[in-house]
Every structure is written in structure tokens, then in C-alpha cells.
Amino acid sequence: MDMSQYLDVFLEESKDHLRNLNASLLNLEKNPRDNAGLNEIFRAAHTLKGMSSTMGFNDLADLTHHMENVLSDLKEGLLEANSYVVDTLFECVDRLQIIIDGIESGTRVDADNSELIMKLETIKSGNYEAAAVLENELPTIEPGESTSINDDNVFSFNEYDITVMKEALSNGYSILHFKIGIDPDCMMKAVRAFMVFKTLEEDGEIIKTNPSAQDLDEGKFDKEFDLVLLTRADVSNLADRINNVSEVKVMASKTLNLDALLTSGTSLRTENKSEVASSAATANDADNNKKAHKIKQTVRVDIDRLDNLMNLVGELVMHKGRLEQIGATHKVTDLNETIEQIDRISTDLQSVVMKVRMVPIEQVFNRFPRMVRDLAKELDKEVDFLIEGKETELDRTVIDEIGDPLVHLLRNALDHGLESSSERVAKGKPRQGNLILRARHEGNNVYIEVEDDGAGIDQDKVIGKALEKGLITAKEAENLTREESINLLFLPGFSTANNVTDVSGRGVGLDVVKTKIESLNGEINVDSRPGQGTMFRIKLPLTLAIIQALMVSVKDEIYAIPLTSVDETTMITKQDIKMIQSQEVIMLRGNVLPLFRLARLIDLPDDLTEDAEMYVVVVRKGDRQIGLVVDTLIGQQEIVIKALGKILAGISGIAGAIVAGDGNVRLILDITTLF
């Protein structure tokens, strides 16, 4: 049987199980006697083994099988979940990840897991305690083995069942009786029964089981069970699919003859009207519940399809603006009502698409507990790692890009921020340091914070390193504020590490973080208190596709400024402008606001004529406010961001472009790189 059609499902489910294994092992390390956690680990490993075996990935199946052996002894209390055991299990999970990544990339080769398997066997044999346990083992199911089916007394059909079967026969369905056998060594019989049900219900409906569905769900059955299926599918094809479920075998199958059942009377249970009515009502309730459940089912959608959908919505928004302009220019009053309806529909559609693209940041955060645990052990530091706000949602495009910057920040906090246990005790701090990763919504932005309670940032050390590396001059160093000196951390090539290690010291770090954050139209700031700790705060837009912008004009050119960067607008006269050290400034509510002429910043032809009154857009860059002098404020507009392409990518001050309602291309200003 060609299993390649199931590869995508296998990969997705395998990744889910690996994430579950990592999270559960981390919990087991903290709570070695947590039986519920052990059961969760065992279930994940067991399911992975079954899936791998079914798909023909024998190296995966073999390794997870040996993991099961150790996990089984842990569950039974024959082994202790000490540091060595947990480390070995983590090694196994890492190997499983490597193999699955190879399968996904198409570069897979059978892995040599002999060393890991030997470790697992050593753990098991070294802690083995002999116990005399009497087991009445049932014979293992062999290929080709079968048994006969005797309809008598296997099922008890009521009148409702008979009615359903008659209706099915009239619509071209067959009534099939399967006897399913389970390997007696199977540890999760209920799971195997569920997998059989899932397989069969793709092409039919199971109307009867023996034992009952509840007993099957709870694993309360011996080595086999029976079921009746209504289907149009071929019985041999169904049997082959069942046999591909790990540790499951079709013992026998038969097409039931309804007339024969009715004639024999042995399988028909006579009921009074109230029982039949009750049975029918129960069946109807079950059908209703099934329908309600289907409404809540989810599907996996390729992100490229969502991107394409977003582009189409963007085009709709653009042409909506064009329609509005045509209506206003030509004064077509009959068009107004239609434009209003299109405006409402496009807004609702945009909202729906945005919600579909939003995913919990948990998808990124879940990869970090394991990384922090391993790095803390490598650095010999004790760390309590907390995650807050992982249910916070972000656009998928932002989610995909934020992972690497957070890796840098967390590694930086562990290596440079938190002290060793001995240093913390000497300072009167708890031996265990705290590292917090949190996310929260605030308006149209998401804030992500990485906070530690370590030593904080040494301002003098930062300035000294910057001077040593020639990143600033001695004169510049004398005039730096604390905020400016801390921001030296983001200069390319800056590092305070004295030695090059696997963790740091190569001069590649926070500058990469800042560049990536700014490419996402975000900002990053640092708040550090000597001796108390450091917090890196990242501000990101909820989405990168459709945003609100302030449209302005300069020298007959129109530009868009993202509203997330705009604090306010104001009007000034030439007399309001003062000069401080060759810099134009104005006083805005008691504060000095530096002024920049937008025309000069973007190299437009500069004539010296000035209007009596000028418009100023107050924008925010980091923690500072700056005034942009423009000719005209056009107004707020919803814009669809378009990339400039490879040739024009990376131009300072330009974030992208839009196609305006009149068909012209307008540039979007990037405030963070404009100055």
C-alpha cells in the first residue's frame, strides 16, 4: 500500500508528539514522581512507534520501542527518573527530531540508533528487579491467522438498528461484520480500537460493537472485539487498511444477510414501544452531538493559500478606494449605496481573513523551555523559566520571523544576565535565577518581554568595550546618557564576552535582533537596573499586511506613514521654529521637539520657499519623539502593503509601497530607519 499520501499527516502529528514529549519530560524532571506526566510521555512514545511502524520508518519505530521499555519500568516504579535517565530520554527525543526533519526535507537516511538503544538497555537492565508475575498471555496474532464468525448472540439488534440497516441496504450500502484482534502485548488497547474506528469511519458508519463502545474506549476488552459497519467500500480494501494499524489484525469478516437475521430471530431483541422510542431518541441525540462536533472541527491550511487570500483581499480594499474616488470625482450619487455595501463587506472579509491568519504565540514559546534547560545545564546555572501570555495571538508571518530574535535574547539573558549560583548567594540573592518570557496585547500591537533578575547591564563596561572595539570615540563616550550607552549593545560587532564560546563572544547577537525586529516594523528597547536585572521589550504590529496609515504630501508627492508610528499632528508657523546646535526645534507642551524636513530626508528638490503655516507629524522613534514637517495632511487611510522587490529592498526609510485608488504607486515611510 502506498503510504506517501499520509506523509503530511504523519509529519504534523509527529511534531505534535515531539512537542508533547519535550514539555512532559521537562515536567518529569521537576516532578519525578508525577505518574500522570509519565503516562503522557508513554502515550506519546507509544503512538509515535505505531505511526512510524505503519509508515515503514523502522529506525523511528525501533528507538521508540526501546524508549517504551524504559518508560514502562518508570511507570511501574522499577526505575527512578533521575538526571541520567531524563537526559537519555531527551537525547532520544532529539534523535527522533533529527530523523523526522530528515523525512520532511527528503534527505532522510536510516539512522544508526545503536548507541542510544544501548544506553536505554543499560538503564533498563541495570535497574531491573525480577518479579514473579503470573500472566495468562494470549497467542500473538500472526499474519493470515483467522477465525470463523458466528452471528448467534454476538450482537443484540433492536428495532431501530433493523430500521437503520434496512434503509442502508435500500441506498446501496453493505452490512459488514468485522472481528478485530489486538496484539496481547499491546499496552494501549483503547487507542488501537480508536484507530480502527477512525479508519473505518472514513468510508462508513459503525452502528454496533461488542463489547460496547464505552467499554472499548476504556480498554475493557480482551484480545478481540466485533463491530458492524454500514459502507459502500470494498471489504478487502477495508481489511487491508485495518491491518496497517499497528498491533491490529482482522481476524475475520463477513457480509451480514439481514433477512437471515430476521428469520433466525436469535440476534433480534424484542422491545416495547417506550424502549424503542428511547433508543431512537438516544440515537438522534448522538447524531445531533456528532453534527455539533463536526461544526467545531478544524482543518490545516497551507500558509501560501492564506497569503494568496490576503493578497486578494488587499486588491479588493485597493479597488474599493478607487471606487470611492470615482464616485467623489464624478459625483455619481447612485454609486454611494453600493460603495457603502462594498466597504462593509470588504471590512468584514478583511477581519475574517486576519483572524484566520492569527495564531497563538505559544507555537514559538513552546520551543524555549527545552533550550533554556539545556543551556542552563551547560552554563551550570540554576534557572526558573516562566512563560506568560502564550495565548497571545499574532499574524502567522510575524510568528514565523520572531523565533530567532527571541533565541538570541534568551541566550543573552542566560549567559550575560543571570549570575552563577555562588555569585547570587554572595550577593544575598536566591540561588535560582528567574527568567521570564511574556507576551501581551496592547492596542494594535503585541509586546514581548524577556526579563531576568540578574546583574543588570554595567554601563561603564559597555562603554569600555565600545571604545576598545572602535565603535565610538572618547569624545562621544563622554556625552552619552545611560540610555544611549545601553543602546550601544545593538551596534554591529558588539560583545562583552571575553572568550568565544558556543554561547557567545562572536560579535553576532543583539544587532541581528534589532535588524530583524525593525524589518517587522517593530521596535526593541532595554530597561536595566544594576544588580536587579534587565528587561528587553519588543513592540510588534499585529499584522504586516493591511494597516492604517496617515497620508501626507510633500512637493506634490504623496507618502504613507504607518499610524503605529504617529503620536499626533500639529500646525506651526515659521516663528515657532528655534535653532539649537544647528538643529531646528519647537516647543511642544513644554518639551523640546526636534524638527526634520521630510523633503530633505527623502532627497526631494529643496526650494527655500516656506508657507506661513506648516504641518508637523509627531512620530515616535524608540522612546523619542521627532517632528516631520510636511506640506499637507491628506488624512487617514487603510493601506495594503506591497513589497518593493529584490532590487529596491533594504532602502533606508522605505517600508514598502501601496497602489492608491487613482492607480498611482505611493511609498510607505519606515520611521525607524528614516533618520
- Which residues are catalytic, by number? 46, 68, 412
User: CA angle, corner 630, sides to 627 and 631, nearest 5?
Assistant: 155
Sequence-separated (6 or more) residues with CB below 8 Å from residue 82: 32
| Helices marked H in 268-388 | 273-295, 303-330, 335-357, 362-365, 368-379
Look up residue 200 and give its three cell numbers: 473505518
Question: Which residue type does 265 have?
Answer: G
Cβ atoms within 10 Å, residue 669: 25
In angstroms, rounded to a whole number, what is the distance separating the alpha carbons of residues 648 and 657? 11
In angstroms, rounded to a whole number, what is the distance separating the alpha carbons of residues 660 and 637? 10
Look up residue 298 and give its three cell numbers: 478544524
Write the secondary structure of 195-222 as one string of H (helix), E (strand) and C (coil).
HHHHHHCCCEEEEEEECCHHHHHCCCCC
Instruction: Provide the sign of the torsion angle of the four alpha carbons 13, 18, 19, 21, taken in this order.
Output: positive
In angstroms, rounded to a whole number, what is the distance separating the alpha carbons of residues 26 and 372? 11
Three-state secondary structure call for residue 181: strand
Question: Which residue type does 103 have?
Answer: I
| Location of C-alpha cell 502506498 | 2
In angstroms, rounded to a whole number, what is the distance separating the alpha carbons of residues 516 and 518? 5
Sequence-separated (6 or more) residues with CB below 8 Å from residue 100: 11, 14, 15, 18, 60
In angstroms, rounded to a whole number, what is the distance separating the alpha carbons of residues 361 and 398? 10
Query: CA–CA distance from 136 to each of 133, 252, 262 (Å)?
Result: 10, 24, 39
In angstroms, rounded to a whole number, what is the distance separating the alpha carbons of residues 283 and 206? 13
Read out DSSP for 566-590? EEEEEEEEGGG-EEETTEEEEEETT
What does DSSP assign to residue 488? Answer: G
CA contacts within 13 A on the Cβ side of 508: 7
In angstroms, rounded to a whole number, what is the distance separating the alpha carbons of residues 39 and 455? 40
- The secondary structure of the chain in percent helix, strand, coil, rounded to multiples of 5, reads 45, 25, 30
Minimal CA–CA distance to 200: which of 166, 165, 168, 239? 239
Instruction: Provide the sign of the torsion angle of the four alpha carbons 417, 421, 425, 431, taken in this order.
Output: positive
In angstroms, rounded to a whole number, what is the distance separating the alpha carbons of residues 151 and 260? 10
State how beta strands 632-640 and 546-554 pair.
Answer: antiparallel
Look up residue 94 and give its three cell numbers: 532529539
| Location of C-alpha cell 534547560 | 373
Minimal CA–CA distance to 392: which of 382, 384, 402? 402
In angstroms, rounded to a whole number, what is the distance separating the alpha carbons of residues 50 and 588? 69
Sequence-separated (6 or more) residues with CB below 8 Å from residue 163: none
Three-state secondary structure call for residue 446: strand
Minimal CA–CA distance to 447: which of 489, 498, 394? 394
In angstroms, rounded to a whole number, what is the distance separating the alpha carbons of residues 25 and 529? 35
Q: What is the CA radius of gyration of the chain?
A: 34
Look up residue 33 and give its three cell numbers: 514522581
